[in-house]
Structure 1
């Protein structure tokens, strides 16, 4: 019975303090919109990093006298190594075709024989695309008979490795800061709502209402305000993502999980902020 009373009072409370509720919901919407931007940015940065990592390749050149069958056997030995994800053997003939496609002329237009060696293209497994793993793999491959040289994008890999931790640190710090700002905004606006209704709280205390009974309608209000702010911020974010995909970058990633996270975060922040505000007020009176 007390729950339904608290629910009714919580909903009525939104109507009694329309301006304060509007300010609270607006503040929540703005704060969660910033959080949503951060989440979306983080998801897209992670996607780009994974895409860059997936492009990392090692090209293993074989000795000039290695025949196709021997080259295939070498590629099988490489494929058996732990960190190797995908292996492609390129014969001398295939290398000549690729040369012609890239440069528009055949190697035979310049030389009587094909000087291009057979090679093996290696892509790393997910989780092994770091400079340490790639260098370790290259050292193992060098020990295989028939391998002449190994080429990989060391500077590109070093760049990703160097800055990826910085990106993650900035991302986590920004996320924590934005969530903190959202809590502070909600806390202060909800506290104003509580102060505006101090007379009602005083009457409830005088008639013997417990602190938990007094607190419950405000928690429900906080839940509704947080959820409302999350829905509005989600609509704002969705509209912004549509504009960005239409006019700037069509490959931008957007997912339902982001909006679900906003809704969950909004309701949790709303309830926590309300609890902090009403608990502090009840301690002061």
Structure 2
């Protein structure tokens, strides 16, 4: 009989641990998916921003040597992602192709100007910073005019702020749900050992001594759950990369390291805190309260 009872208790304990690991893995998997969305949404928004250009139209009297020097100075600026120079001859050829006829035959001359398209780094694509750049370049002696799509910049900035806000709200909500669910799973696993906790306390064991093995056990279950979640995330990322290779999910080692580190650290912190407070609760209960 004792052996059967002991085997029953072991099976029950193993079942409890497995349920905790599965709960932690599922919650961390969802949090990891949301984290991946947050990381890649930043990358996608930056790619969109870095396709925005501010165009400088140069004065006709500016020489080729001066243009080369001006281009070199712009390329060194912190806001510059890349620059594209278009001569007035190239611009005329391109415009003629677009309208389907050579407009210079009617005008007799080329009215277009040499231009430099400056593709900005994502951090500088805001209405305020682009206005500052416009004002700055208009004061330059080589520049005749500055052009960029102001309505597009305003709309882009507004929409990206709105999307970022709701993503942060969702991440906060799911993080709270993750903490609550993992905390509940760990509390249920410790609940079955509440009598052992009280017995150890009654024979003189300190709270720290009683709490320590439960905390380490909780952390181990959390790390196992995190590893299971990371395996699931790896499968999802692999298939997403095969369907959308432009996102570069498997090649983005920085984002992947953030994701792995975030899941592991979250598992460690949440399980540590949950186990600490769960054991503390049962340590503070009176003996007659253990039955409720």
- Give the TM-score, by structure 2 length: 0.80
Give the deviation of 1:109 after TM superposition. 6.9
Match of 2:38 in 1: 42
Q: Is the 8 A contact 1:89 1:121 kept in 2?
A: yes
CA 1:195–1:87 in 2, change beyond 3 Å: closer, same or farther?
closer
Identify the match of residue 169 of structure 2 among 164, 167, 173. 173
Give the C-alpha shift of residue 223 in structure 1.
0.3
Determine the structure 2 residue equivalent to 1:283: 284
Q: 1:129 to 1:250 in 2, by over 3 A?
A: closer
Instruction: Check whether the contact 2:52–2:119 (CA below 8 A) recurs between aligned residues.
Output: yes
Is the Cα contact below 8 Å between 2:49 and 2:121 reproduced in 1? no
Cα shift at 1:187:
1.6
1:196 and 2:197 matched: no
Pair 1:194–1:105, CA change in 2 (3 A): same
Deviations, residues 51-73 of structure 1 (Å, cap 9, x unaligned): 12222211122345655445446
Question: Structure 1 residues 129-138 or 253-262, which shifts more?
Answer: 253-262
- 1:79, 1:32 → 2: CA distance? 44
Q: Call closer, same or farther: CA 1:258–1:80 in 2, change over 3 Å.
A: closer
Q: 1:29 aligns with which of 25, 41, 44?
A: 25
> Quick one: distance in 2 between partners of 1:241 and 1:82?
33
| Residue pair 1:63, 1:148 contacting (<8 A) in 2 also | yes
- Partner residue of 2:274? 273
Which of the numbers 139, 142, 150 marks the counterpart of 1:143?
A: 139
Three-state SS of the structure 1 residue aligned to 2:249 is coil
- Cross-structure match for 2:229: 233
CA RMSD of aligned residues (A): 2.9
Judging changes above 3 Å, is the alpha-carbon distance between structure 1 residues 77 and 244 closer, same or farther for their aligned structure 2 residues?
closer
Q: Is the 8 A contact 1:86 1:122 kept in 2?
A: yes
The answer on 1:256 being equivalent to 2:252 is no
Runs of 5+ consecutive residues of structure 1 not aligned to the other structure: 1-12
Distance in 2 (alpha carbons) for counterparts of 1:234 and 1:219: 22
How far did residue 282 of structure 1 move? 1.0
Q: In terms of mean alpha carbon deviation, does 100-109 or 50-59 score higher?
A: 100-109
Match of 2:6 in 1: none
Aligned position for 2:239: 243
Q: Secondary structure at the match of 2:141?
A: coil
- C-alpha displacement of 1:249: 5.4
1:250 deviates by 4.8
Moved more, 45-54 or 13-22: 13-22
Among 144, 148, 152, which residue is 1:156 paired with?
A: 152
> 1:93 offset after TM fit, Å?
2.7
**CA separation in 1, counterparts of 2:164 and 2:93?**
42
Once structures 1 and 2 are overlaid, which stretch shifts more, 227-236 or 166-175?
A: 166-175
Query: 2:212 corresponds to which residue?
Result: 216
Shift in Å, 1:130: 1.6
Measured in 1, the distance between the counterparts of 2:215 and 2:78 equals: 53
Paired with 2:98 and 2:242, the residues of 1 have a C-alpha distance of: 33
Return the alpha-carbon distance in structure 1 between the equivalents of residues 100 and 278 of structure 2.
73
Alpha-carbon separation, structure 1, partners of 2:241 and 2:79: 36
SS of structure 1 residue aligned to 2:140: coil
